[in-house]
Structure 1
């Protein structure tokens, strides 16, 4: 694995860095944000800036209008984008659209790509992914899937409830995971304004960085045609793996940018704030926290790069992405937590962006699989197969 960056990638990294600092960060206090995240007007304005900068949806294929970034290239660019909580929204690399774009590129039919993928890549529409359900339905255990897709002639009727659906409010289409009469799972595509889909409510969440927040969706006799099957009938769980490993990793990339922002804020603070006769940074306890942060940041970065490199070699990386997700979510959280401690009272107020980063990042250890589930999954694979193939 070569850690050097090509001149082209260095230029893209630097261009992204400048774009985020010069054009995106000034919007962080924009009033077009609510308790759930950026509003639609703000999203569109930010995306237009990214479009002009040549940075909109860079992970999509060139054919679809993106830059066709490899996984390792995404690792570099997404970290820079994540330096601002608005960066992923501006560049159209936020969850869940980023993962849905990757999934649709891989398994959607040509007709589905033209209808849903192309406008999604262009930033004209948004999407959501409906998998998680209230108890006793699917959560960390997807086999508990309760939402049904029952055959109705040549078509299907979908019934069930989903929740924690990121971006549901304002989404133009949804990818639905549903169980067939034979117990197998299938993914379906549907426009969100179709009869039979109801946004019941938006959930009151700790984070406020996802456009549309997190919603509860009710499906009541939603009619979908066989042409709206995404991938193959009965292959929903298998097809989900196409999305899951890369999507876990891109979360790690974006949050790494936020953790680096927190560290930069802390360094700037402890270099000027004085206590007990010297600046805070000269106190051993504070200095140790800075050093620990640097180690956690670099450990996260190297795990991301290694897993991205393996994905670029064609590996599935189910095991490696679980490992990276646990390491990064916990290490990056430790970084932000230490930074709050170093800033003291300022760290728990809106005097800096640090409090928002702290609140937004806490969920990272839960969504896309809690750390405990990933550890359990890794252990099962290690016991079953030493080679982890």
Structure 2
């Protein structure tokens, strides 16, 4: 089973069972140990996962953290667990202390629902006050699962995660700033727009007027973006222009079984963003089938740009077409890998445009 599916299944389990889970130990057994297993570790192998890990052998009062994940017999991540009903914020001091009593580079504070990952980005050997990565397992986003996969045993690399952690720290901070500004625009934020659209002096009355204008405009803009994306997706699902009645009838049964996934739509938007540098995006369409997801030009099946083969549980592929419309499938690890084939996609587009 794919890592993404494992995480989503565990999230569904948490939703169904959490009302029946009453204690911290039950939370560990039902939610957190399965999570560690999702990361590829054998929770029953003390060479990989150590429960009740002793953090400081020299201390008079021995401190123990719930779990430590080992690599080459050394702790690389410590995990402190709480009951699923606990607010994790009030347990920061505890995980902060444990972090400094080990050589682990990462600390995870979790209640089996919320997972907060910490490291020492601000000052070396001093755990940051805020997590660089957080997610709710009952509602994981695609990008969050992608980031979480970096902690999987099969690809765990400290330097890769630290690089990603630095980026996540600032992207999360930017998201928080934007969310706050959208909810309640600050004077500095409003002044930025006033200086670009208003020629007069930014008096108190003008600022008051523009504060409401900025908030309302931001709401409308984001609503329009969401609406456009939804309408785009709906428009792309219209029936294909079949070449014959026989073909239409034969496709009727199979089309009823087709389910366009979020990954396929996101892949479509990536290809669309690449192609729109040369043509109007309204000329780019998709057709879904049971085996692959086809992206075409001018709503014409004879003008395939590429195909996304994402339905396999093991590997994913991007199908690229040459000048003779011969398809070559290349393996991709994530949808972002599509950008690596920008030149090939634009070349395919050029082949059709030059034939006009």
TM-score, length basis structure 2: 0.27
Q: Looking at both structures, which has the greater relative contact order when contacts are Cα pairs under 8 Å and sequence separation is at least 6?
A: 1
TM-score, length basis structure 1: 0.25
